[in-house]
């Protein structure tokens, strides 16, 4: 407003229908707000070696008023140190915050771990700790990159992410939990991409 930007209602008819349908689902199927969430996280490295990490989230869908998730909290939703690397998280913020996972991944990279080793070492033992303490762990995924441009990812769900640089075109990859605290990573298939596009463009009744 101070810079004369036009004030626009960002709520689309499609989004409103999705919200109304979820309200009905919550009443009829006794769903709770934790049955759906999403965050976009990004880590960048420029030609001068400066790094940045960022998150963008609509927050937990149907969340209670006043809830604050991990996304705006440095060390939880994101963390970066240009001399080491950065990390960003998506998923259930209440659980991610219990481990300060983005900071932990950067700390491990600072000890000499590769981004993939740091992600695996930070995320999977923490998932087991949550399950032991609370009987369950929320869904979450983390991406990381070090100051050399090497990257890593860890997740406890099926998780898609994208990587690219000045020499390699951006590509979409799929990560899944692997055996023995590791992460399985493979390119997405055209079949998966077609199904995804069909799903997000499907009419909302």
Return d(Cα 65, Cα 72) in angstroms, integer.
16
Is 90 a residue of the active site?
no
The residue whose two tokens read 């869904």 is 139
State the catalytic residue, choosing from 12, 39, 57, 189.
39
The contacts of residue 78 (CB under 8 Å, 6+ apart) are 41, 53, 54, 55, 71, 86, 87, 88, 89, 102
Which residues are registered as beta bridge partners of 44? 52
Return d(Cα 151, Cα 143) in angstroms, integer.
7
Return d(Cα 33, Cα 158) in angstroms, integer.
20
Closest CA to 69 of 44, 110, 34: 34
> Can you tell me whether residue 119 is helix, strand or coil?
helix
Angle at 197 between CA 102 and CA 37, to 5 degrees: 35
Residues annotated catalytic, as ranges: 39
């Amino acid at each position: 407003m101070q810079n004369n930007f036009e004030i626009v209602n960002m709520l689309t008819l499609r989004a409103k229908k999705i919200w109304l349908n979820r309200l009905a689902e919550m009443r009829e199927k006794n769903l709770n707000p934790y049955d759906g969430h999403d965050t976009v996280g990004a880590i960048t490295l420029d030609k001068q070696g400066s790094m940045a990490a960022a998150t963008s989230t609509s927050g937990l869908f149907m969340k209670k008023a006043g809830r604050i998730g991990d996304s705006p909290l440095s060390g939880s939703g994101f963390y970066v140190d240009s001399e080491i690397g950065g990390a960003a998280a998506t998923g259930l913020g209440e659980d991610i915050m219990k481990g300060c996972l983005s900071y932990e991944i950067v700390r491990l990279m600072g000890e000499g771990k590769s981004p993939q080793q740091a992600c695996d070492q930070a995320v999977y033992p923490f998932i087991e700790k949550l399950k032991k303490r609370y009987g369950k762990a929320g869904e979450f995924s983390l991406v990381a990159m070090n100051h050399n441009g090497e990257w890593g990812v860890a997740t406890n769900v099926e998780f898609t992410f994208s990587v690219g640089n000045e020499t390699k075109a951006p590509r979409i990859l799929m990560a899944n939990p692997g055996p023995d605290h590791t992460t399985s990573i493979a390119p997405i298939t055209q079949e998966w991409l077609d199904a995804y596009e069909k799903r997000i463009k499907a009419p909302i009744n």
